[in-house]
Chain A
Amino acid sequence: MQTADLLPLVLVLAAVAYGFAYMRSRAVAAPLGGIRNLKALPAYYAARAALWCAIPALIILGAWAAFEGKVIQNVVMASLPAELTPQSAGHASLTLSQISNLAAGKLNPAMVPDGISNAAVLLQELREQSSRFKSLLVILIAVLGGTFAWTRVAPTINARKSVELTLQRLFFVCAAVAILTTIGIVFSVIFETVRFFGKVPMSEFLFGTNWSPQTALRADQVGSEGAFGVIPLFTGTLMISAIAMLIAVPVGLLSAVYLSEYASPRMRSVVKPLLEMLAGVPTVVYGFFAALTVAPFIRDLALMVGLEASSQSALAAGLVMGIMIIPFVSSLSDDVINAVPRSLRDGSLALGATQSETMKNVIFPAALPGIMGGILLAASRAIGETMIVVMAAGLAANLTANPLDSVTTVTVQIVTLLTGDQEFDSAKTLAAFALGMMLFIVTLLLNVIALKVVRKYREQYD
């Protein structure tokens, strides 16, 4: 049986164990005078039986799935005759895919050496054996586990405790998944980054002011030396993000103040969902809007006042991005402003403060940590945003402080470096990982600084 079939089977077995244990706990309770004489409710005994049935079986199943392929591979490769034993890693993977293609019947056996076709037969056999053995083992473990728990349905045993403990561990595992994934991502990026710095010196990457990542594909190719100075990318990113924040923070914050303090409940119930809808518009659509409407408009406007502007500008991308992240600021700020206790508001109003004085002097400082949280979220969205920038700000890595020029950002360059046919050991593609690492470090630093600032200035109410 395949894993996909075993999984539902285990769940069915668990359900059966649940039912049996439930019935048994009732039966055990009956002569004692009802379920209140049990240490735990029948549902807990039943849940424990289901957990005993499912969890060990699932662990076995998972472990099998993880190691099966590797083990079989090694056995098959070892069975190859000496003259066919692969010399290099590339050769090994080629041989292996030949064998498995043959086993799957996609390759004509006549086209390969005997050793290979023997190996294919062996592979097929091993796979079948493994599958059979796995099915047996999993079902056996599930049944044994369920039975064990079933026999342990007794009035003196407290099933509640063990169920609670198991659930607690389950929650921990879920929390660990997110953390482990992050660590995994960081490490995968770090290794590539180190390889990149083997090809390009770190000082050139960090302090170079020129970005043109065209490396020669062949040794005799003319031109294209490649320059990996990251500064124009970061100035572009920072400029666009700064423009976006300049739009989003005041507008978002003030609309949050309006929503929470001045709007009537009816107004609020209409306006808030509408504002949040802005966050649901796909960024590609914002990209259209920026490239087709806002950017030309800005160019025309600039020409009218006699300024020179390119048709793709940082200003256009920043403005539209600012609109996009307004809901992050406004919605979160609105929530935290509402969470400030009413008694503080009343205290200030009763002293003769106006609504705006109350807002500025009492509510805003108390809500500051939450508001900063919203702004941070918006900022990391702005820094990480790609689509709008690709469409509206262009790809030219200009080192400029003029928002009417076209610029490019770190994320856009990562995308252009990695899309299309690329080899993964050139400086060009590896640069993408180094950029990603830099971006990660910068956003992390921003977060840490903002947290420190918030902790220093917040006014905590209880």
Chain B
Amino acid sequence: MSISMSPAETTIEEGKTVGIPFSDDPKFHLRNVEVFYGESPAIKNISLDIARNEVIAFIGPSGCGKSTFLRCLNRMNDSIESCQIKGSLLLDGQDIYDPKRDVVELRARVGMVFQKPNPFPKSIYDNVAYGPRIHGLANRKSDLDDIVENSLRKAGLWNEVKDRLDAMATGMSGGQQQRLCIARAIAVSPEVVLMDEPCSALDPIATARIEELIAELSESYTIVIVTHSMQQAARVSNRTAYFHLGHLVEVNDTSKVFTMPEHELTESYITGRFG
């Protein structure tokens, strides 16, 4: 590999990732993953393990494929017709893309929070109760009330909304809406929570709240977070994966990536030379 200061001249060897991409007992076992939109490749031969109960951050410049890769993990790319996925993607050893696999069950286990807060135009209560109702998690109204309360508590929203659960969710502030979306996602007790730039539409205070929340949630969930903010990745994650033009360039412990990056592209990115 040539050593050069300009990232444009740096060649990336396909399928080669520096750092520690694999783990012994992974939650997600991903090998040789390739994603195409029509003819053009978006993800080029990525192999990665995501460990149980870790917080892994995906960073990289815009268009590097980190969101696309994230959406492969709960098959949210299914609705895009031109999207094709190759390789082996296993969740707890079971193929995610097995044609016989029930997407509903997969998505109940792998929840997702989106870039822009997207509460349903319903009451706060109905938003959180949406998932449990669909999956029949509560037999009685009181069970459902408990689930809603617990989820809102975990999302740090209970004290703010407990007196107005019937109010429209769309009337809340952006930060509250995003925490509601997190509450909505954890209400179905998923094992993994995928977060696609959850703070990019929020102000710094709301962002700080969400980051605290991620730290609390990391005790019980595996969290995969895509972020544009390197500080955020440094603050919330155990491991960091650096994506570049559809390649997974480097994966390592977060402290290692941000202090001693092995690959010069990673170094250029985290020191702000491009991105």
Contacts and interface: CB of A to CB of B under 8 A. Distances in A.
Interface of A: 264-265, 341, 343-354, 357, 361-362, 365-366, 459-462
B85 interface: no
Contact of A350 (B107, B121, B170): B107
B185 A351 contact: yes
A362 B120 CA distance: 7
B105 interface: yes
Nearest to A354: B104
Interface in B89-146: 103-108, 111-112, 114, 116, 118-122, 130-131, 134-135
Contacts of B104: 352-354
B254 to A, nearest CB: 26
Q: What are the 8 tightest A-B residue pairs by CB atom distance, in nearest-first order?
A: A459-B121, A343-B118, A352-B107, A350-B112, A352-B108, A351-B131, A347-B118, A461-B121
A454 to B, nearest CB: 14
Nearest to A460: B121
B46 to A, nearest CB: 22
A361 B130 contact: yes
A95 to B, nearest CB: 70
A352 B114 contact: no
Nearest to B184: A351
Contact of B114 (A264, A343, A365): A343
A350 B130 contact: no
| Max chain B Cβ within 10 angstroms of own Cβ: one of A348, A350, A365, A460 | A350
Contacts of A346: 76, 79, 112, 114, 118
B122 A348 contact: no
Contacts of B116: 343
Given A344-B120, A362-B120, A350 B81 contact: no
B107 A348 contact: no
Given A264-B81, A357-B134, A460-B170, A350 B74 contact: yes
A84 to B, nearest CB: 77
Contacts of A343: 114, 116, 118
B125 to A, nearest CB: 14
B181 interface: yes
B155 interface: no
A351 B111 contact: yes
Contacts of B214: none
25 contacts: A265-B81, A341-B118, A343-B114, A343-B116, A343-B118, A346-B79, A346-B112, A346-B118, A347-B119, A347-B181, A347-B184, A350-B76, A350-B114, A350-B185, A351-B108, A351-B111, A351-B130, A351-B184, A351-B188, A352-B134, A361-B120, A362-B120, A460-B121, A460-B168, A460-B170
Nearest to A462: B170
Contacts of B131: 351-353
B169 to A, nearest CB: 10
Nearest to B74: A350
Contacts of A341: 118
Contact of A348 (B74, B105, B120, B188): B120
Nearest to A261: B79
| Max chain A Cβ within 10 angstroms of own Cβ: one of B104, B111, B135, B185 | B104
A153 B177 CA distance: 56
A11 B134 CA distance: 67
Contact of B121 (A264, A351, A353, A365): A365
B130 A344 contact: no
Contacts of B119: 347
A361 B121 CA distance: 10
A461 B170 contact: yes
Given A349-B79, A351-B111, 12 more contacts: A344-B121, A347-B118, A349-B76, A350-B111, A350-B114, A351-B108, A352-B105, A352-B134, A352-B188, A361-B134, A366-B121, A460-B121
| Max chain B Cβ within 10 angstroms of own Cβ: one of A264, A353, A461 | A353
Contacts of B130: 348, 351, 353, 361
Contacts of B114: 343, 346-347, 350
Interface in B65-90: 74, 76, 79, 81
Contact of B134 (A264, A353, A460, A461): A353
A107 B118 CA distance: 81
A352 B135 contact: yes
B108 A344 contact: no
Contacts of A462: 170
Nearest to B112: A350
A354 B106 CA distance: 12
| Max chain A Cβ within 10 angstroms of own Cβ: one of B81, B107, B188 | B107
Contacts of A265: 81
Contacts of B135: 352
B24 to A, nearest CB: 29
A345 B185 CA distance: 14
Nearest to B122: A459
A385 to B, nearest CB: 35
Nearest to A357: B134
A361 B132 CA distance: 13
Interface string B162-201: 0000001010000000000100110010000000000000
A459 B120 contact: yes
A343 B178 CA distance: 13
Contacts of B185: 350-351
A346 B79 CA distance: 9
A161 B131 CA distance: 56
A353 B81 CA distance: 19
B123 to A, nearest CB: 10
A349 B185 CA distance: 11
A354 B79 CA distance: 12
A348 B112 CA distance: 10
A351 B119 CA distance: 12
Nearest to A366: B121
Nearest to A458: B121
Contacts of A349: 76, 79, 107
Contacts of A365: 121-122
A343 B135 CA distance: 21
B75 to A, nearest CB: 9
A351 B134 contact: yes
A365 B106 CA distance: 26
